[in-house]
A and B are shown apart, each in its own frame.
Chain A
Amino acid sequence: MTELFMLIAAKYNYCLYVILMMIGLYAMIAKNNLMKKLVGMNIFQTAIILFYVSIGFKHNATIPIIKGDHGHGGHGAAIHAADYMNPLPHVLMLTAIVVSVATLGVAMALCVKVYQRYQTLEEDELRMRLSEKIKS
């Protein structure tokens, strides 16, 4: 039992992302309202982003900005990779955040368009209206 607790304590960050991801996934699958589905999608994306950023974290390391006077072409003290956090997940997630904003904007525009035509964002009502349209 203590081993299990030790395992969770060492990797508690992953548990948090899995919980966030489950919330987002549940909202995307089970919710009836399209806007709520979008909120779920954003929670899901946030979970992924946090997961990536936490991979880049190192103990006793600082943000990935080189300290000191290296910028002026000087070769002062050697730079050790263990002193700086991993910049690669940060870069990847910077672009992922931008994509998430873009997808959110387009999805909301589509929701506005759907609402203009059918006066509802509830999925079952939309399906009903669409089947009526096909019959008539």
Chain B
Amino acid sequence: MKLLSLIVVCLTGGLLLYGTADLPDWGDPNTPASLHLSKYYIENAIRDTEVPNLVTAVLADYRSIDTMLETAVVFCAGLACFMLLRDFTPKKDHYYRHVPSGVILHVKNPDRQIIAGNEFEDMDKEWLPPDTIIKTVCRMLIPFIQIYALYVVAHGDFSPGGGFQGGVILGSSFILLAISYNLKYLLKRVSEKFLGILSAAGVLVYMGIGLAAMVLGGNFLDYEKYAPIFGEHHIRALGMLGVEIGVGMSVTAVMVIIYINIVSEGKHDEGL
């Protein structure tokens, strides 16, 4: 079986290598790929959209419906992870830690759900106190990571960046919080309900911007139609910013949803 697959792989690789002989040289500016559509984008995007970052201009304006459905794909991935893994069966044993003294209470088969208050903290059996160095370093790093993520989202029109990239950075800052403290601490700060609403709201913001343009009398996602409300100046850049914020919200929430469901197998306890 291994030998057979090796032969198949080598045959495929040989065919592909044979095919590369006809491909253009590396870095040749006159390849077919860069002569037709991309030439138009480079030469006219700044006139059409007033956005210097061509990648954002193509992503959020020329190909904006593609990006909208891409955001929907991301949302569906988060939804699929939630549906597959989320486990709502209540735990039998509950452990609570008295925060000031460190005493641990073990409650077996409680009749009803006990909600831990300020003094007591809900915890799991395999609980280890988080390391002080890791906690301190992450506490100092996370705000800067989040500020940087917001910068990447907001500045996507003029420098490298955009909704997907910024959303991933923001989501990874939340994941860092879950790793350095624990999952319950993250879920206390950012509840699951909030994440679910945020991931759907991102897609709705995107589609809402498109539909509002239709209401104002233009095509779907035609940002020019917002000019009477926000003014003519950089109106397409502004529309793209709104769209990128929607994308960023959705991507952030979905990153965190995928993480929290996979590491804890849907139980939302300590996780890793």
Please tell me if the beta carbons of A109 and B42 are within 8 angstroms of each other in the complex: no
| Set A18, A97, A110: member contacting B20, Cβ < 8 A | A18
Is B23 part of the binding interface, using a Cβ–Cβ cutoff of 8 Å? yes
Please tell me if the beta carbons of A59 and B51 are within 8 angstroms of each other in the complex: no
For B57, the chain A residues whose CB sits under 8 A away are 87
Is B158 part of the binding interface, using a Cβ–Cβ cutoff of 8 Å? yes
Is A55 part of the binding interface, using a Cβ–Cβ cutoff of 8 Å? yes
Say which size band chain B's interface belongs to.
Answer: 35 or more
Asked if A109 meets B59 with Cβ closer than 8 Å, knowing A25-B12, A26-B5, A98-B70, the reply is: no
Binding site secondary structure of chain A: helix
Residues of A participating in the B interface, judged by any CB pair closer than 8 Å: 7, 10-15, 18-19, 21-22, 25-26, 29-30, 54-61, 63-67, 70-73, 75, 79-82, 84, 86-91, 94-95, 97-99, 101-103, 105-106, 108-110, 112-113, 116
Please tell me if the beta carbons of A15 and B59 are within 8 angstroms of each other in the complex: no
For B2, the chain A residues whose CB sits under 8 A away are 30
Please tell me if the beta carbons of B262 and A91 are within 8 angstroms of each other in the complex: no
Is B114 part of the binding interface, using a Cβ–Cβ cutoff of 8 Å? no
Please tell me if the beta carbons of A64 and B73 are within 8 angstroms of each other in the complex: no
Q: Whole-angstrom distance between the alpha carbons of A10 and B25 in the complex? A: 6
For B54, the chain A residues whose CB sits under 8 A away are 64-66, 84, 87
Q: Whole-angstrom distance between the alpha carbons of A86 and B46 in the complex? A: 15
Please tell me if the beta carbons of B5 and A29 are within 8 angstroms of each other in the complex: yes
Please tell me if the beta carbons of A66 and B265 are within 8 angstroms of each other in the complex: no
* 26 intermolecular pairs with C-beta atoms under 8 Å apart: A11-B23, A12-B26, A14-B20, A18-B20, A21-B13, A26-B5, A29-B8, A29-B9, A59-B29, A65-B160, A66-B52, A66-B53, A66-B54, A71-B234, A81-B29, A87-B38, A90-B55, A91-B58, A91-B63, A94-B164, A95-B66, A99-B73, A101-B255, A105-B81, A105-B258, A112-B266
